[in-house]
Structure 1
Amino acid sequence: MSFGSQLREFRDEYLHITQKQMAQDLGVNPGTISRYESDEREFPIEQLQVMKELYNIPDDMFLAIILDRPLKSVRPSTGLRTLDSTSYYSNGWNEPADAEYRLREIIAVTDQMTPDNRALFFAGLQNFVQLFKNQLRN
């Protein structure tokens, strides 16, 4: 495998987005993504960190993509966007795995939504988080 095929696999099987969507996200032409994936063009090193942050790629997955390791040996393709399992999302849960499981449930639900409904859901979630933060301050 090559970086291009790793990129294609990650885009298809983990992110479930089109070349066009990735191109929009990275600010390039869709043909450029196609050339990256077919190894006709080298992926710019300065874009690696941008891509990692943009898609919240966990370190183990990111290294597998760069080092040309099988992605499924790192994390199985579940149809979900990947999360960093070492992150603690709340001090209220006993285990980070519990937090990751809850977040994966939310992601699974939002992946089934239309883009408009997903945007509405996350806007409402952001409002809820802000209200919660305001309550904690009082």
Structure 2
Amino acid sequence: MRFFGAQFKEYRESYLNITQTEAAAALNMKKESLSQYETGSRKFPPDDYQKVRMTFQIPDDYFIAMVTGTPLKSVRSNEQTLPEVTKDLRVAYQHQFIEQFEDVILDNDEMRELIALVAMLDKKYQRQLLNTFKGFTNLYQTEIARNHKLQKELDKAKQNPKA
């Protein structure tokens, strides 16, 4: 029987066509944690199953298959072809994603400007620019975490000064 993390990975890749990074961000967890859940090196917390289901609007039949370890390809196999099912699920997720981040786009001049600039580039340069931006974002997050840790250490040292 397949475990929930592997089932979710298959669903994420085959039906939603989203990256692990995007899924982790949507679930408000670290990419490394999601990777461990998907590979089985850590067990996916059962308390988070519903969060996954609601975040990605997973239909009941697919969710039950994910929890029970039933092959996902066997779900709805008689009703629709896999490409039709995949397209329907992907479109539903994309609509939900746009709704979720609509305010960020509409309320942020810089975000709209960035989207417009990226849209003007051809696909190759879009990918290069966005991958560079992701690299800077990762570096920025690392620095924030490092600064947060240093601030905690400084606060602790202030509370316990050496005599």
**Partner residue in 1 for 2:54:** 53
Q: Secondary structure at the match of 1:80?
A: helix
Alignment of 1:127-138 (within 5 A): none
Equivalent of residue 77 in structure 1, options 73, 78, 82: 82
CA RMSD of aligned residues (A): 2.7
More helix by share: 2
Distance in 1 between the 2:23 and 2:31 partners? 8
Name the residue aligned to 1:37.
38
Shift of residue 81 of structure 1?
A: 4.5
Unmatched 5+ stretches in structure 2:
107-163
In 2, the alpha carbon distance for the partners of 1:11 and 1:74 equals 15
How far is 1:50 from its partner?
A: 1.1
TM-score, normalized by length of structure 1? 0.57
- Corresponding residue for residue 18 of structure 2: 17
- How far the C-alpha of 1:3 sits from its partner, in A, is 2.1
Supply the distance in 2 between the matched residues of 1:77 and 1:30 (Cα, whole angstroms).
28
The one-letter code matched in structure 2 to 1:32 is S
- Report the CA distance shift for 1:26/1:81 in structure 2 as closer, same or farther (over 3 A): farther
Name the larger-Rg structure.
Answer: 2
Secondary structure of the residue aligned to 2:51 is: helix
Counterpart CA distance in 2 for 1:20 and 1:81 is: 22
Q: 1:36 to 1:81 in 2, by over 3 A?
A: farther
Unaligned stretches of 5+ residues in structure 1: 83-103, 124-138
Do the aligned residues in 2 keep the contact of 1:13 with 1:77 (CA within 8 Å)?
no
Query: How big is each residue's C-alpha offset from its partner over 1:47-75, in whole Å with a ceiling of 9 and x where there is no partner?
Result: 11111111111111000001000101003
Q: TM-score, normalised by structure 2?
A: 0.49
User: CA distance change for structure 1 residues 81 and 35 in 2, over 3 Å: closer, same or farther?
Assistant: farther
Alignment of 1:102-113 (within 5 A): 107=91
Counting aligned pairs with the same residue, the percent is 37
